[in-house]
Structures are given as structure tokens and as C-alpha cells.
Structure 1
């Protein structure tokens, strides 16, 4: 859910689902045109209101402390991250070392460990105008070869554990929330099947049978609870299998006029826009509602080979993201196919994307549209000024129009300090690429603190 600087890379060939020809869209003028030279997103530094007015002073101080670490020179920050990753077990077991991490980074990025703590933190977010959470279990699979495939005839314990953890995550949230699912968390056997997947090879499709059944078990429980299932994008090495599994789940669970299952499209990949169009065509032909989350991308630095599959520049990624948003919110589609319908989440920390998408959604002609509701999302602990401003704007719009077709969510994880440590390290690494965003957030928070202590105003 973030914006990353894109560099040129080395080739990678991956399998792609080509069940239908891509949708062709009618060229239209778009409000998203950016100047090619503009590498940094436009950031709104003069909000109309004090967006952090409702945050307690303790939250402001904690976030500023986290941002101050993220603002360290890149070599120093990388050295700190590397040290923490190597000695994570010792750090977690030390009360002296774990206490400041728990009070700062953990509370900033993670929603909690116990059911009561998670419920209280989600309730706090809702009290501030955030509609809910996209929640994921923080523990991740070890993909370093330390896990071995289950012997023939034995239960795949890693897959069973993955299903159980996702079901437990569903039990932590309410019917207005989402859970985030990572297929690589299902263990080494599932990951190997995903890497071997080829859509045209029936034996490779059969290799995903157990993972597909596990996914359907998760979806069944989510359906009973009214919770939506957001499938996270991952490395392009695994993405073809992820697309296949998610489309299969959509065809089964998105058939009642709404989306239970969502797929994620990372626009730093050159193929993502055409894949999105193709998947809309598949959904249209099969008569189900597409669930779509758009991100610029989270896995760009773990791609094994990059040239040919990665956008050449950051503005190219922006342009692809903007074109996808424009296509979805304008509702363009081919005249020879049935109209498509979709539910859309825009996961972005880019102010220009948020402002323009909101304007485009609000200015659509009256009548039935393929996208009836629009959801924005930001990572918990990041881009809080965007989330809070959206919450204020949505509240004002709802009071005026009585409409509830736009909402804002926070993506977070739950689990123990040890489970969440790897996730927090990734967030710290991401903040290195979001230096401009961090400075704006810190500036607005410092200004808010100044307003509270300026008694003469």
C-alpha cells in the first residue's frame, strides 16, 4: 500500500492467466495526467482543518518518535534494521530492549495481541472516523528451506496452521472489516506449488488443490461472519498462482451482487493493467462481482529478475495506477460484453491520487454505476494525515448528502511482539522511501502540538 521509487531491472518470465482477451477501453480524457518530471507525489501541506486535532498527545509523541528513527540516514537505518533482524530473538526476550519497541513501533503499526486489546484499538480507530481495519496475522512463513514438505499421506501441518490463523483473524474483526490473506504463509509445500504453477498445465493446477480447499474453508467462515477477504499481492514469482486461486474464490463467493473476495493489483508491474482488464472480462462473462484492491506495489525489491516486468520509472507506475483508477471509476468496458461490476479499494499514501479519485467518484453521472462504493486504505502508523482528512471529509459529505458510499480503513497486523517484529522492520524500510511523506506527517504533528501549547491563540 505504498508508493515506491522504481528502477530498471532484469527479466523475469512468469505464467499469466489468459483465459480471456483483455478489455479494451474507450480513450477518454483523464483528470489524472501528471507531469513526467514530477517524481515526488504532490502532498497537501495546508489542510483545511487540523487533521490531528482528535489524536491524544501521547499518540502524537509516539508517532514522532517512530518517524524520527525512520528519518535517520539510510546507511545508519539499514544497519539498525539488519542488527535487529539478526538478533530479534534476544531483543524480544529482553525486557529492557523489548519495552521501548513495544511502546513505540509496535503500538504505531500493530493493533494488538489479545482479543480485548485488538477490540479496544479497533474501537479507538472507529471513534476517530476510521471505518474499520484490514487485519492480517503477523506471523509469516519461513521460506529459507528450514521447512520440509510433508511426506505422502501425512497432513500438511503448515497449511492447517495457515487456515486456522486466518479463521482466528476473522474472529477478531466485525462484519464491516476485512482480513488480509497471504498465500505464501501457507508453508513451504504450498509455496513450491505456487512457484511451479502453470495455468496451461493441469498437473500444476492440481498441485494447488490443497491450498484452494484451504482458501475456500477460510472464505466459508468469512461468509458466515460477513467479513471480506482481501488477498494480498506478493512477488511476481507467485502472482500467477495467486491470481488463479483468487479468481476461483471470486467465482464461488462473489455471486450475490457484492464482493466477498478481493484480489490485489500492484501497478509497478507492467502487466498489471492488462491483467486487471482481463480479470474484469472474466468476471463479466461468469457473472460475478470483482473485488479489487489497487496498490502501487510492496514487493518491488524482492523481485528476482526485473527488466521487462517492472515499470521503467516512478512516473510510469503513477500513470498505470491513475489509468486503472480512471477506468474503474468511469466504468468503461467493451460494448460487446456484459457490463462488469466491482467493489474497489484504493490502497494509497498519495494525496493526489486520493483527492482526484474522490473528485472523480463524486462527479460521476447519476444512475447505476459499476462501482457503487469506494474504499480508501492506508497502513496503520503511516500517512495518518491522509486517513484523518478522509475521515473528516467523509463525515461532512455524509452529513450533507446522507450518502455512505465512501469509507476509509487502516491496514494493520496482530500478534505477539516476536510475530510482528519482521512486519515492523519492513515498515521501517518502507519509510526510507517515504521520506517526503514522513516529513509532512511529522510537520503537521509538530504544528498540532504547537497549537495545543499556544495558549494565547
Structure 2
């Protein structure tokens, strides 16, 4: 049976910004205009965490700008309104509790309970097929670093790691019962390997019939494409479905700085071109093995999205195929998300929530990401400006 495809244009501003009213659109325009000033974003990355710690009166400004743009609210109850709006706009959600890097067992247990609460909430909604989980929300960073370096753990540390693993498995078991997917976010390279190993072990148990658990592959790392191919091979050999979320990566400066300070080769590609090549090859590889891979194309790169569409057309893979979805961050690249959705593709907005102080690291990464890709913010600004002008012209016609 043949599948009919329509060419997707990311320039359709009416579709791209249908989710936003006139007031929101103007607010976003000015926020992106400020973020397009690279020096200001760079300065804010260092200043905002400091002024928050000093309790200076900036929370209201942050809440009304960065936080409102990139987060759904402080609590799960707060996020429900945003989730409903996205549902009305035909958009799916990856729900994320944006707390990370904590250090106590009490906080880890609270975070685990919150993830489980997210799953039961998502199960009641029609547009929340996934939640996102960070292992640094369930285990100490120092413990993960020690495991990654293959250092011998003390008896207490072994017990601590077992508790962390049990937390993730409890989350996955709950997700299986409620038919919700769990996407485990990638972390820094020096704590990633124990996460990779445990997630793969759980996949072999819980991804037998469908992909419940997803591993995140940061393709700006020089070793991730080979790892992805190895994991696909393991899935084929062992009869389970690999859940693969493909991203470029979020810790570029930190990775390069640490490598330089400690005198080891940088684990990330030297150029964006090399990253793009690996990312696009990862898409092609996954498309060749959709019987064994369920993939999330999580990117703000238009070329990678168009490549995926082209491959799906060539292979007669329907836009709504259950093993292919796209994802962009809430507050970014609406011109990609809503135009893909308009043409029948499965699209999820990654929607974080949490107390403002706790999501500052996430907000700083988003602001930096918006300025790190050459021309991306400028393109969004142009499209927003076009949509504002289009709406004014429509009002004049009336």
C-alpha cells in the first residue's frame, strides 16, 4: 500500500505560531531579540545563578521571561494548563521534572515519587506519551563519576547505587503498567557509562513488545554513533526494541573545558559539520532498522528533519509510524514542530517544570543553545516578525 507524502515547509508562519496569541508573540519576539545578543546571553549564564543565590530581586523578571518561555510551571498542577493548550493545538508532550544535580537520598526519593506521579498524570491525558528522567535526579553525580571511572566502590556506595538503580526500575515498571514511555536524558561524558549500561539492561527486560524505555545519544560525542550501532545490533540479537532518542548535545563548552583542564582528548567533535554528519547518519541507520528501533528525532535542525522526511518517503514509512517521532524543546522552533504536526508527523514538545531555583541550569542551557547555532535565533526572529506583519495585514483586510 502506497503512502502519500506532502512536502513540509517550515516557513508557514500561520501554522507555526497558531499556538501563540498576539501578545505572546510580541513578548517572544523581544525575548529572542535580547537572546540574539550573544554577549548578553553569555553574561547572563554566569550572573543569574549568582544573583539567585544572593536573593537579589530578579526572580520576577526571570519568571516572566526565560522561565515563562521554556517551562510549563513550578508544579505538576501548574503545568496542566500548558499541557491542555498544547493538546488543543494538536501537540504531544515529553513531560520533564527539571530538577537535577541534588545530593541527598531524601531528595532522590522525592524525585522518584514525582516521576511516578508524572506517569499517572500522563496516563490520564491523551497527548503525553512520554516522560523524561535524569539519572542525576536519582543518584549523586560523584557516585556516577566513580562508577564511570571504574573505581572500586565501598560497601555503602554499592548499596547506594543499588538504591538508585531500583528507583529507575520502579519508574519503568510504573510506566509499563500505564503505557507511558520513559526517556532517560544524557548527562556529561564523565558520568554517562553506568547510565548507558543500566538503561540497556532494563531495555532487555521491559522493551520486549514495545519501546517503553529510551536511551539518549548525544551525537556531538565522537563515540556515540558507534555505540548506537552496537546497541541496535544488541537489540536485534536479543529480541528487544531499542528506544533511541537522538540529540546533538547540551554540554559542549563544559566538555571541552574539562578535557583541556585534565589533559585528555575532547570527547566531542571538533566541528559542527562533523556533529551534523554523525547525527544524520544516525537517523539513516535507525530508519533502516525500524523493526528493532523506536527513534525520537530530537533536533532543532531543519536539515535533519527534512532528511528524516525524505527517508520516510523513500521507504514508504507513514508519517504517523509508531517507531518515529520528532521532538523540539518547549519555547523553541515552533516553526518546525507545528508544521511537522500539520502534515501528520508525530511531534512532541519537551516540556519541563519545577521550582524556578531548581531549573536555572536548564534555563541557562536553553539560552545558550539558542545562541550557539549560527543563525537559528535570527531565523526564528524573522519568522515571528513575518507572522506579526501577516496578522496586522489580515486585520486591515477585515
Q: Where on the TM-score scale, by shorter chain, does this alignment land: which range?
A: 0.7 to 0.9
Report if the CA contact (8 A) 2:34-2:40 is conserved. Answer: no
Matched, 1:361 2:361: no
Matches within 5 A, 1:36-47: 46-47=11-12
Question: Post-superposition shift, 1:172?
Answer: 3.8
State the match for 1:284 in structure 2: 236
Matches within 5 A, 1:146-225: 147=103, 156-174=105-123, 176-188=128-140, 191-197=141-147, 208-225=161-178
Partner of residue 327 from structure 2, selected from 357, 363, 377: 377
State the match for 2:44 in structure 1: 80
C-alpha distance in structure 2 between counterparts of 1:365 and 1:56, whole Å? 37
Question: Post-superposition shift, 1:385?
Answer: 0.8
State the match for 2:4 in structure 1: none
C-alpha distance in structure 1 between counterparts of 2:45 and 2:226, whole Å? 36
Report if the CA contact (8 A) 1:65-1:104 is conserved. Answer: no
Matched, 1:250 2:208: no
Report if the CA contact (8 A) 2:218-2:246 is conserved. Answer: yes
Question: Post-superposition shift, 1:163?
Answer: 1.5
C-alpha distance in structure 1 between counterparts of 2:373 and 2:31, whole Å? 13
Partner of residue 331 from structure 1, selected from 259, 274, 289: 289
Partner of residue 240 from structure 1, selected from 182, 193, 203: 193
Runs of 4+ in 1 over 6 A off after TM superposition: 199-205
Matched, 1:300 2:252: yes
3-state SS, counterpart of residue 432 of structure 1 = helix
Structure 1 residues 219-267: Cα deviation after superposition (integer angstroms, max 9, x where no partner) = 1122222211000111111111110111111112111x21000001111
Question: Post-superposition shift, 1:365?
Answer: 4.9
Report if the CA contact (8 A) 1:378-1:387 is conserved. Answer: yes
Report if the CA contact (8 A) 2:115-2:133 is conserved. Answer: yes
Question: Post-superposition shift, 1:312?
Answer: 2.5
Question: Post-superposition shift, 1:115?
Answer: 3.8
Listed as ranges, the gaps of 5+ residues in structure 2 are: 1-7
C-alpha distance in structure 2 between counterparts of 1:196 and 1:125, whole Å? 41
3-state SS, counterpart of residue 307 of structure 1 = coil
3-state SS, counterpart of residue 322 of structure 1 = helix
More helix by share: 2
C-alpha distance in structure 2 between counterparts of 1:99 and 1:374, whole Å? 39
C-alpha distance in structure 2 between counterparts of 1:48 and 1:55, whole Å? 11
Report if the CA contact (8 A) 2:95-2:352 is conserved. Answer: yes
Listed as ranges, the gaps of 5+ residues in structure 1 are: 1-42, 149-155, 333-339, 395-405
Matched, 1:270 2:234: no
Report if the CA contact (8 A) 1:296-1:348 is conserved. Answer: yes
State the match for 1:108 in structure 2: 69
Using the size of structure 2 for normalisation, the TM-score is 0.86
Q: In the superposition, relative to structure 1, how do residues 234 and 54 fare at CA in structure 2: closer, same or farther (>3 Å)?
A: closer
Question: Post-superposition shift, 1:308?
Answer: 5.2
State the match for 1:336 in structure 2: none
C-alpha distance in structure 1 between counterparts of 2:180 and 2:45, whole Å? 35
Structure 1 residues 397-435: Cα deviation after superposition (integer angstroms, max 9, x where no partner) = xxxxxxxxx300011211122233332122112222135
Q: Number of matched residues?
A: 375
Question: Post-superposition shift, 1:56?
Answer: 1.0
3-state SS, counterpart of residue 419 of structure 1 = helix
3-state SS, counterpart of residue 291 of structure 1 = strand
State the match for 1:318 in structure 2: 276
**TM-align CA RMSD:** 2.7
State the match for 1:3 in structure 2: none
Question: Post-superposition shift, 1:329?
Answer: 0.7
Partner of residue 66 from structure 1, selected from 4, 11, 31: 31
Q: In the superposition, relative to structure 1, how do residues 69 and 250 fare at CA in structure 2: closer, same or farther (>3 Å)?
A: same
C-alpha distance in structure 2 between counterparts of 1:200 and 1:285, whole Å? 27
Question: Post-superposition shift, 1:126?
Answer: 1.8
Report if the CA contact (8 A) 2:148-2:192 is conserved. Answer: no
Partner of residue 96 from structure 2, selected from 136, 144, 159: 136
Question: Post-superposition shift, 1:195?
Answer: 1.6
State the match for 2:5 in structure 1: none
Q: In the superposition, relative to structure 1, how do residues 90 and 68 fare at CA in structure 2: closer, same or farther (>3 Å)?
A: farther
